Structure 1
Amino acid sequence: MHVKGISTLSIDEKNIQHQSPRLRTYQKVCETQVFFENQLLDYKKAAQYLGICESYLRRLKSKRKISFVEIGVRGVRFKVASLNKWIEEREIKK
């Protein structure tokens, strides 16, 4: 779901059924989390937001195919607005 300035992460209940109880609990907590456009996410949350694995997100970042913010020498974060833009750029329209 996307509302101007706010995005929410939704998890499909069918995909949760065959996972470990610990992972299901984590995903259900994240299911109701609200993201703001200017919020910065780490690799784990950004990958979860995009629905991709963390290693693929790291590959996209290293090839500079996705926008990111450097924090200090080694810190990397992703703006929710940039993630939404990346999704929209890949949307196939009829």
Structure 2
Amino acid sequence: LTKWIAQKQHEQLSSKSNEVELAHLYYLPKAHKPGTPLCPIISDLKHSTIKISKFLDELLRPLFNKMASNTSVTSGTEFIEQLHQ
């Protein structure tokens, strides 16, 4: 363990049993489609991997944003500006 991450990091990224819940499954109707099919949604904000997921997102988000900046549109105004170019 100490070769990869420090003990403090391990403690920060680990979830305690009283902090974890099973995911909740619910459905949202798609009223715009014929027959009103249901769209399954899984809510897992207290999943056992949420802390490591947030850590990895914070670590990788700047790299992703840099790599995707040329191919991603982040606002309607930006999209319109790109159309005019």
Q: Which has the higher strand share?
A: 1
Q: TM-score, normalised by structure 1?
A: 0.22
Q: TM-score, normalised by structure 2?
A: 0.24
